[in-house]
Homo-oligomer: A and B are copies of this chain.
Amino acid sequence: MKTDAILSNLKEGGYRMTRVRRAVVAALSGSAVPLSALDLKTLLSEAAMRVNKTTVYREIAFLMDRGVIHEIQFGDGKMRYRVCPEAHHHHAICVRCSRVEEITMENDMKKHERAIARRRGFKVLSHTLEFFGLCNSCNGK
């Protein structure tokens, strides 16, 4: 579990350790799928922890600001969050079970970015790339 590593990092940074902070970090680092704010609130409630939704949003903002988590758009109007990975990468999102696999292809993307800069003078600063489809276990149904 990387929960402890994240929390001790934050502690070293001089930030307070609160119930909600511990619970949100644990929930996110223990989840295979990205979680929305409401997902988080529900999870905490199920763990008998009473939390206000505003607090959840503020904790998300806090963790985003410190680069602990990042957000993903599924395109349904809700932001989802998950603990930041080591390097920039993309996602293959299962439209059936919402499981997310990480896709690394930075060499290719860098190549494309250079091509765009060369051919049209457009200086690429960032990009988003998500694949939607059926994961291995959802495929055969």
Interface of A is mostly: strand
The answer to whether A122 touches B75 (Cβ under 8 A) is no
Indicate if A95 sits at the interface (CB-CB under 8 A). yes
Given contacts A108-B108, A108-B112, contact A75 B128 (CB under 8 A): yes
The answer to whether A133 touches B128 (Cβ under 8 A) is no
Indicate if A16 sits at the interface (CB-CB under 8 A). no
The answer to whether A133 touches B139 (Cβ under 8 A) is no
How does the 8 Å CB contact mask read for A72-97 relative to B, with 1 for contact and 0 for none? 01010100000000000000101100
List 10 A-B residue pairs with CB atoms under 8 Å apart, sorted by A's residue number: A92-B122, A121-B135, A122-B133, A122-B136, A123-B134, A125-B132, A125-B134, A127-B129, A127-B132, A128-B129
